[in-house]
Structure 1
Amino acid sequence: MASGTPPPTFLGIPVELRLRILELPALDIRDIIRCMLVCRDLRDLLNGSTLYTYKRELERCSMVDNSPDYPISTKLEKLLDRNRRWRDLDAFSVKTLEVPFVSGPISLLGGIFARTVRGSNKRDLDIGLLVLPKGDGDVEDIIPEGQNWGEVIEAIAIDPEQDLLVVVNGVQQE
């Protein structure tokens, strides 16, 4: 290296390489945003990047990318449309359901609606699980048999990802 020549820097490499490096999955979007706040060149470079915009929108929604089969532009378009629909309460489709349940605790998580329903003896309570449709599918209503939860259910918590149902029940005081 000749004397007086500044050492090569990240900003000194070609734009195409900088973009490829910044788009690596190992780089956290929050770190990239911090860099953009202090470096105008990076901000100008990434503001036009579809991948950066997609990653930023995912982070803003606290979501993760789990669909590697689609191009980034398609995923970004779907994500922005989803965000707009939630913001404007403009549902893609509306399906009205009549769901029988008894006044009491309910839980909705991961497309599963858990609620209390009357048991077979009309006094005890059961837990009903309504699996909400994805897209145009049908609703599946599941009422597990053989489990008696008693007369009072205080709370229900579900986590479909862990195949977990928690029921807090008690004895009715007279």
Structure 2
Amino acid sequence: MQAVEQPKKSKLWALLSGILGIVWGGLIFVAPSYILPNIFSIVIFSIVFPFTAPSEETLQILHQTQMMFIYLVVFIWVMFIVARISHRYYKKTGEIPYWITKIFLLAASLGVIATLPVLVSYIPGLTGINDVTLQIGGMGSVLIITGGVSGLLGLISGAGYLISLNRFDS
């Protein structure tokens, strides 16, 4: 009985997965340095907002932070889709070790889980979900930790994908 050789896989998904993982890890560790200085302003804004007219600067900071969060959410969902495709595409091949695809999928899944409570709060009728979720036993810190672990795993798996690129026949 002759073994059937699988066709060689393209390295496009590996390159894309590696770049996304590295960028996601970088964003998770760089974004807080941008967000944290603005958090104090946003907290003050949310406390003072009912009593005074907000300043243009405060509204601008709030808008920038919300836009950055939306970009991060879109990025993590794109990364999740790429991770699913990459995990299936490189299954049982020798080009990319299977554990790298699993770690990348886990990183993307954890990132998606960390964004779900806030995304659900944008659905009309469920706007109070975010407040309840963030108050339940430190759930906000759990979501932040989940996002941090996601970034770290994304960085590791992204590096794994990029290192594995030399296994491909060009």
- TM band (smaller chain): under 0.3
Provide TM-score, normalisation by structure 1.
0.24
TM-score normalised by structure 2 residue count: 0.25
Q: Which has the higher helix share?
A: 2
Rg (Cα) greater in structure: 1
Greater share of strand: 1
